[in-house]
Amino acid sequence: MKKVVRGFYSVAYSVKLCRPNVICAYPITPQTEIVENLAAMYANGELGEAEYITAESEFGAASMLVGASAAGARVFTATCSQGLILMSEVLFNAAGMRLPIVLVNTNRALSAPLSIWNDHQDSMAMRDAGIMQVYVENNQEAHDMIPQAYKVAENKKVLLPFMVCMDGYKLTHAYEPVDLLEQEMVDSFLPPYEPAAYMTTKKPLAFGCYAPPHIYMEFRVAMQQAMERAKDVMLDVFKEWAEVSGRDWGGHITVDFPDSKIFVVAMGSVVGLLRKVVEELRNEGLSVGLIKIRTFRPFPVEELREALKDAEKVIVLDRSVSFGYEGPVSIELKSAIYGYSSAEIYSFAVGLGGRDMPKDFLAKIIRDVAEGKERPGFAFKGYQEFEEVIP
Amino acid sequence: MKIKLNLGAISEPLQSEKLKTGDWGTHYPVVDKEKCNGCKTCEQYCPDLCIEVKEVGEEKYAVVDYNYCKGCGICASVCPFEAIKMELKDIFKV
Amino acid sequence: MKYFGSGHGACPGCGLPIAVKTVLNALDGKVFAVNSTGCLEIISSQYGKNAWGVPYIHSLFENAAGVAAGVEAALRAMKRKDEGYVVVFAGDGATADIGIGTLSGAFDRNHDILYICLDNEAYQNTGHQQSGLTPPGESTTTTPAGKVLPGKVGRKKDMISIAVAHGVPYVASSSVGYVSDIRRKVKKAVKFEGAKYIQIHSPCVTGWGIDGSIAIKVARLAVETGLYPLVEFEHGKLTSVRKIKDRKPVEEYLKLQRRFRHLFTHEKGKEMIKLLQRFADENAERYGLDLKKE
Ligand SMILES: Cc1ncc(C[n+]2csc(CCOP(=O)(O)OP(=O)(O)O)c2C)c(N)n1
Ligand code: SF4
Ligand code: SF4
Ligand code: SF4
Ligand SMILES: [Mg+2]
């Protein structure tokens, strides 16, 4: 059923259809209305047997999900920015405990200065946690991704947390027509959660044990192996989703115009606009293609090597910075294709803290690279020249 | 040979019992069966769960599991009948 | 059936396993144990050497109340509440300092959990640093007695009142010196629906500087001096206190422990002992600890 809804609702409604047992969250802009929508559903008795808990903090919310997930529940939370960072100690812990927690991060900049606007600095700070990360382009993809996230996370070959990243404001607050899923369809796609091991007095296992040096490393290797298996599991799940829903969002990356000489690489909602920009530039005669990275963790190494093997120039648009180096997506892409592609890499940090990225701005970046006006390396784009002064 | 590794470091119950802590202490408790009336006070206080009142025939008295006893002396200190004496292990005698 | 195994790594004479086994036995092992990082966790939950005979979870230092709330919510949502009681075992540092946020949240939402604070009066696991529940005058590694300072300056945070102020149905203090008191209070606590808090004074032989053989005696002296009153609140009302026949001067308790030894030589020691005696007197007054002589 197609309906014009806001991004929050597309997420909340999809979460409901996945029949979680425990939902626990703390409000933060621009995630707030996701949890408000879920709270309203709970108040109206629409969440079945689920418990919806208003936490005292994001740290508390994540902690409750650890307990609930270990006890065998399917769980959900949503957060972003300061909230995600506040959760981070718990989330690193949850990943090591191999708990298939699903969360939505409505990407937002990090303080200071305080900013409620969109970039990817928050989720990038979590990249080493052992949490799967998928970035969606629009609200339909966000809506569709929730059941897939559960299916991947709960797969016995994986068992790691899954974070669906959607751009704050740009998606959360946008009205878009979304084909809302049917309960029966989701039920048949996503069976009830059967935990691999859970807390029960019938079989009293201990969760969260500590590991001395003689055994710690093995558990971390096991996490890496689970991430590697997740790559295949995701592809299976993505494919199955395309079949049952009729919407094929592609694999770990999608490639428009694979035979191009120049590629723009980006994640999240900006991809929609880039698609138009690329089309226009191609009409001007530029050989430019577009790569959308959907899965950031596990990182699509082989896919990028294949897609970029004959590329001459690669433009990476990062929405965050690893201060002292450059944008994380670009760092990772470079290391992935090293030895497999001789393309020059142009790495740009753009749109930090909600800085506008209009069509012309994006087109100019690509055109300048194409015309040799830029040098390979790292630069910020779209900021005012300044001189820092001490007041 | 591959080792078995439990998912997420989950552990099976009561595996600590494989660890014999009986050699930790310098002293060990000796129960005087005559004085002991089986009141279980020592049993309730022992931090290492290694002294237990047992029925042996007609008699009922506290029995120490020296595999685990750390020789802390708590049992002796709480016994209302002074039925437990702490003794120095032979290897610590000069 | 053992719910907590021998072979754990506690120092000889440690109070923690005494408290834990008493709680688990009182509930016939019908327990989902949630533990914070700290001594108890380290001595009992090494991978492959787990001492617990009940389902157990450890997540972080400061989130045991939150994790327990999550376990409880899950059991409720999945209609498995009959399986057992959700019981937190957390240190004084985990409770009164770093974890007070999640604890307050769990109290506020009144989750059906029993929260046991194992109060050994410092961060013992990391080498005897002060916590909010360290009493004044104690020399810890972060409040050492020095030429100027006589150990910790300040006071012991009144977690009992903080718990009561949350409006939770049952709050009590107890002591490893009196296992029957622990047993009675635990059995009573779980009859209440909602959040329950029991703070158990637990001797730490290493941090307190005592021999295991006097651990129980020292724990009892804390009660007999009035420094650690054993009280019980039901729905915010004080319903019982452990009366003291001949309340002993605090020196009797202090002089047995290395952590207070400096008070008997330090320039400000007398002052500190006087302060501790004042706290004991105030406790006696506030809770009516003294058994009136006929
Ligand atoms: C966030 C965080 N900060 C610090 C630590 C280090 N740490 C681990 S246990 C502990 C002290 C525990 O004290 P308490 O809760 O009183 O338990 P005890 O060991 O005394 O029984 C500290 C400081 C940690 N694990 N996590
Ligand atoms: S406390 Fe003493 S009398 Fe009681 S059972 Fe133990 S040894 Fe026997
Ligand atoms: S000496 Fe300590 S460990 Fe040994 S039996 Fe007595 S109380 Fe238990
Ligand atoms: S340091 Fe103290 S609390 Fe920790 S195990 Fe030893 S005696 Fe127990
Ligand atoms: Mg402590």
pLDDT for A127 beyond 90? yes
Residue A375 counted as domain residue: yes
pLDDT band at C294 (very low <50, low <70, confident <90, very high): low
- Does C217 contact B at CB distance below 8 Å? yes
Best of C36, C120, C123 for a ligand 4 pocket test (most atoms within 8 Å of beta carbon): C120
- Residue A372 Cα to chain centre, angstroms: 33
Nearest atom (ligand 2) to Cα of B39: 4
Q: Do both A229 and A290 map to the same domain?
A: no
CATH of the domain at A189: 3.40.50.970
Cα–Cα distance, A135 to C184 (Å, whole number) = 54
Do residues A144 and A278 share a domain? no
Using the 3D structure, point to which of A245, A275, A295 is the last residue of a domain. A245
Is residue C293 pLDDT above 80, yes or no? no
3-state secondary structure of A206: strand
By C-alpha distance, the chain A residue nearest B2 is A218
Q: What are the chain B neighbours of C2 within 8 Å (beta carbons)?
A: 14, 49
The angle at the Cα of A333, spanning A328 to A338, to the nearest 5 degrees, equals: 130
Interchain contact, B3 vs A218, CB within 8 Å: yes
Considering only CA atoms, which of A306, A289, A288 is closest in space to residue A252?
A: A306
Q: How crowded is the C-beta side of C133, counted as CA atoms within 13 Å?
A: 28
A263 and A241 within one domain: no
pLDDT band at A157 (very low <50, low <70, confident <90, very high): very high
Tens digit of pLDDT for each residue in C19-31? 999 999 999 999 9
User: Whose C-alpha lies nearest to ligand 1, atom 26?
Assistant: C61
* A45 and A176 inside one domain: yes
In this structure, is residue A177 part of a structural domain?
Answer: yes
Domain count, chain A: 2
Quote the ligand 1 centre to C94 CA distance (angstroms): 6
Contact B19 C49 (CB under 8 A): yes
Residue C116 Cβ contacting ligand 1 at under 6 Å: no
Amino acid letter for position A363 = A
Ligand 2 centre and the CA of A104: distance in Å? 59
Is residue A335 a part of any domain in this protein? yes
10 Å CB burial of residue A114 (0-12, 13-18, 19+) is exposed
How far, in Å, from the CA of B77 to the mean position of ligand 2?
10
∠ CA C181-C184-C188, nearest 5°, is 140
The CA distance from A195 to the nearest CA of chain B, in Å, is: 12
Q: Which residue of A has its CA nearest to B6?
A: A219
Residues near ligand 4 (Cβ within 6 A): C 10-11, 14, 16, 39, 43, 120, 124, 204-207
* Token pair belonging to A58: 């994001």
Q: C37 in ligand 1 pocket by Cβ < 6 Å?
A: yes
Does residue A389 lie in a domain region?
no
- Given an 8 Å threshold on Cβ–Cβ distance, is B48 in contact with C8? yes
Residue A264: which domain range?
254-380
Check pLDDT > 90 for residue C252: yes
Asked, as a colleague might, if the bond just before A113 is cis with ω within 30 of 0, I would say yes
B8, B11, B13: residue with CB nearest A96: B8
Q: Report whether pLDDT(C282) > 70.
A: yes
Assess whether A136 and A225 both reside in one domain: yes
Domain boundary among A191, A217, A245: A245
> From the CA of C77, how many Å to the nearest CA of chain A?
6
Q: Hey, is the C-beta of B1 within 8 angstroms of any chain A C-beta?
A: no
Q: A313 and A371: one domain?
A: yes
State yes or no: pLDDT of A226 exceeds 70. Answer: yes
pLDDT (tens digit per residue) in C74-85:
999 999 999 999
Strand partners, B54: B61
Q: Over the stretch C3-51, which tens digit does the pLDDT of each residue have? A: 999 999 999 999 999 999 999 999 999 999 999 999 999 999 999 999 9
Please provide the average confidence, as pLDDT, over all residues in chain A: 98
Can you give the CATH number for the domain in which A264 is found?
3.40.50.920
Banded model confidence at residue A1, pLDDT cuts 50, 70, 90: confident
- Cβ within 8 Å, pair A49-C32: no
Are A338 and A198 part of one and the same domain? no
Task: Output the pLDDT for position C185.
Answer: 98
Give yes or no: residues A182 and A300 share one domain.
no
The pLDDT tens digits for A312-356 are 999 999 999 999 999 999 999 999 999 999 999 999 999 999 999
Per-residue pLDDT reduced to its tens digit, C79-129: 999 999 999 999 999 999 999 999 999 999 999 999 999 999 999 999 999
Q: Taking residues C244-249, what's their average pLDDT? A: 97
Contact (Cβ atoms closer than 8 angstroms) between residue C124 and residue C204: yes
Do A221 and A275 lie in one domain? The reply is: no
Q: Quote the minimal CA–CA distance from A202 to chain C in Å.
A: 8
Residue A304 lies in a domain: yes
ipTM: 0.97
Ligand 3: residues with CB < 6 A are B 29, 46, 48, 50-51, 64, 69-75
The CA B47 to ligand 2 mean position distance, Å, reads 15
Q: Is the pLDDT at C292 greater than 90, yes or no? A: no
Q: Which residue of chain C is at minimal alpha-carbon distance from A93?
A: C59
In a domain, A390, yes or no: no
Atom of ligand 3 nearest to the CA of B48: 3
Domains and CATH numbers, chain C: 15-287 (3.40.50.970)
Residue A208 to residue B5, Cβ atoms within 8 A: no
C5 with B25: Cβ contact below 8 A: no
Q: Are residues A241 and A280 in the same domain?
A: no
Among C residues 115-154, those touching chain A with beta carbons less than 8 Å apart: none
Burial class (CB in 10 A: 0-12, 13-18, 19+), A275: middle
β-pairing, C170-175 with C231-234? antiparallel
Cβ–Cβ gap C5/B14 under 8 Å: yes
Nearest to C69 among A21, A64, A199 (CB): A64
Is the pLDDT assigned to residue C57 strictly greater than 80?
A: yes
Sort out which chain C residues have CB atoms less than 8 A from B67's CB and list them: 6
First-to-last alpha carbon distance for chain C, in angstroms, is 47
User: What share of chain A in percent tops pLDDT 70?
Assistant: 100
Touching B: C residues 44-73, CB under 8 Å: 44-45, 47-54
**Helix residue spans in B3-67 (DSSP H):** 41-45
Helices (H) and strands (E) in chain B, counts: 2, 4
Indicate the pLDDT class of residue A20, thresholds 50, 70 and 90: very high
Same domain, A264 and A116: no
Q: Give which of C2, C4, C6, C18 to mutate to test B binding, by max B Cβ within 10 Å.
A: C6
A191, A212, A245 - which closes a domain: A245
Together in a domain, A219 and A318:
no
In short, whether B45's Cβ falls inside 6 Å of ligand 2 is no
| pLDDT tens for the 94 residues of chain B, in order | 899 999 999 999 999 999 999 999 999 999 999 999 999 999 999 999 999 999 988 899 999 999 999 999 999 999 999 999 999 999 999 8
* Cβ of residue C92 lying under 6 Å from some atom of ligand 1: yes
Q: Quick one: average pLDDT of A231-256?
A: 98
Contact: B5, A218; criterion CB under 8 Å: yes
pLDDT at A206: 98
pLDDT of residue C83: 98
pLDDT at A31: 96
Residue A235 lies in a domain: yes
Q: Is the pLDDT of residue C1 over 90?
A: no
Q: Which domains are present in chain B?
A: 28-92 (3.30.70.20)
Phi, psi of A61 (to 5 degrees): -60, -50
A58 phi/psi in degrees, rounded to 5 = -65, -35
Please check the confidence at residue C183 and state whether its pLDDT lies above 90. Answer: yes
* Cβ within 8 Å, pair C213-B76: yes
Count CA atoms closer than 13 A to B53's CA, side-chain side.
Answer: 17
Give distance in angstroms: CA of C60 to centre of ligand 1. 9
Strand C231-234 versus strand C237-241 pairing type: antiparallel
A386 domain-assigned? no
